[in-house]
Amino acid sequence: MRLFSYGLALALVSMVLLMLQKAYAAVPARELKRRARASDRQAARLYRVTAYGPNTHLLLAVLIGLAAAGSFVLLARAVQPLVAFGVLAVVVWIGFVWLPATSRLQRFGLQLAAWASPILAKLLGWMYSVTHFITNLAGSQPARLRPSDLYETEDLLVLLEKQKQIPTNRIPEHQLQAATRLLQFADRTVDQVMLPRAEVKLVSADDTIGPLLLDELHESGQRSFLVYEGKRDHLVGTINLHDALSAGKDAKVSDLMRANLCFVNEAQSLEDVLQAFQTTRQPVFAVVNRADDFVGIIGIEHLLAEALGEVTASEPLAYEDRQAIANYQPVLQPIAVPEDELSEEPEPLQELDQDQIADESETLPPEPPEVVE
């Protein structure tokens, strides 16, 4: 009977160790580090163990194996081996299937892992050289680059869309949208982004730059304009709105325009056009089709809007004022730590003992291992 009790006790120990292993893998080490910096004491304790990366997994796997093997030996000596095997099978089922099934159990597992962290951190510190040697020998270094579920750009787009629905997501929506746009950038073509000919404001080379013309240029919303001579299809150059605003009295468009006009095809990709902008340094391109018809324009602002979306500043800055720009102070956004995943009642910064928080990472090895997610 005593052997059976000891066997059951070791089986429970292996189940607890399985719970700890799942708890330490529940939140990536990098996220725990962020939360620890935001004064979450529980995250700081968990990070002490997860910072060891594969060494933590190896140590817990060894402890689970020893506890399970010892449990089987003791139970097999007390009862039939088949019964002992059945008991261990139930323990394994509970550990791998049932334990992480509910958020309440996950929260309890995190609390248990935080309580056990000082002991495991010391054990990992003592055995670091051994576990590090074994993990390197077993090839865990290349495992950091193991294949994931991401194989094509479409998979990344699906991942970004799912990220928006995660309750603990802290990535601003505009950043997720920008990432989505950048991934789709290479697949977009000029005809999907360009300003169509019907909406393009053209300027005659013979026009005089005055209040009436400047009002028309402003109302168009364009920054650069194509210049024609005679017929509107006879394009001869470009003029920038900034140059027009700086023009002297009675200056003509032909005096300020750039004569080296460049063209792109409506079927070209935006990556091709971006490279063309870098090569030619032109502010705007005339877009033509296969029939050599002028069908629109595309400027660098169209590419930026397609890649990043419409950028809106919270407060306009006087970029001509050197002193105002020198005194600029960025607005820092605080880290919002989810309350339901770690500490149920996170302690505010002013109530925490900062020396105690600083001590949370004292037991890491002399050269802390790389954070592995």
> Which pLDDT score, from 0 to 100, does residue 176 have?
87
Do 49 and 124 fall into the same domain? yes
CATH number at residue 244: 3.10.580.10
The overall average pLDDT reported for the chain is: 78
Cα–Cα distance measured from residue 32 to residue 44, given in angstroms and rounded to the nearest whole number: 7
The residue out of 82, 115, 145 marking a domain boundary is 145
Q: Which residue, among 149, 11, 20, has the nearest Cα to 73 in the 3D structure?
A: 11
Res. 334: pLDDT tops 70: no
Tabulate helix, strand, coil % of the chain (nearest 5).
Answer: 60, 10, 30
239/160 same-domain check: no
Considering the domain boundaries, does residue 105 fall inside one?
Answer: yes
**40 in the same domain as 132:** yes
| Beta-bridge partners for 227 | 203, 237
90 or 232, which is more confident?
232
Question: What is the pLDDT at residue 354?
Answer: 42
53: left (phi over 0), alpha (psi -120 to 50) or beta: left
Show the domain range for 173.
156-185
Q: Provide the CA 343 distance to its chain's centre, in angstroms.
A: 24
**According to the model, what pLDDT value does residue 150 have?**
74
Query: Is 339 or 4 the better-scoring residue by pLDDT?
Result: 4
Per-residue pLDDT band at 265 (split at 50, 70, 90): very high
Is residue 107 a part of any domain in this protein? Answer: yes
> What is the pLDDT, as a whole number, of residue 355?
45
Contacts of 58 (CB under 8 A, 6+ apart): 131, 134, 135
- Same domain (yes/no): 205, 267: yes
Whether the per-residue pLDDT at 351 is higher than 70: the answer is: no
**What pLDDT is attached to residue 266?**
95
C-alpha–C-alpha distance, residues 50 and 219, integer Å:
58
Within-domain flag for 360:
no
291 found inside a domain: yes
Give, for 341, the enclosing helix (H) or strand (E): none
18 CB-side CA count, 13 A:
22
Question: What band does 336 get if pLDDT is binned at 50, 70 and 90?
Answer: low
> Is residue 358, in this structure, part of any structural domain at all?
no
- Same domain (yes/no): 218, 137: no
169, 241: one domain: no
Decide if pLDDT at 165 tops 60.
yes
| 282 shares a domain with 254 | yes
94 within some domain: yes
Residue 294 vs residue 142, higher pLDDT: 294
Residue 34 banded pLDDT, cuts 50, 70, 90: confident
Instruction: Give which of 116, 126, 97 is closest to 13, Cα–Cα.
Output: 116
Does residue 343 or residue 182 have the better pLDDT?
A: 182
Domain end call among 286, 308, 330: 308
| pTM score, whole prediction | 0.56
pLDDT-above-70 percentage for the chain: 79
Final residue of a structural domain among 86, 121, 145:
145
Amino acid making up residue 83? V
Query: How many separate domains does the chain show?
Result: 3
Is 322 domain-assigned? no
**Statement to judge: residues 162 and 209 lie in one domain:** no
- Res 335: pLDDT: 52
**Any domain includes 79:** yes
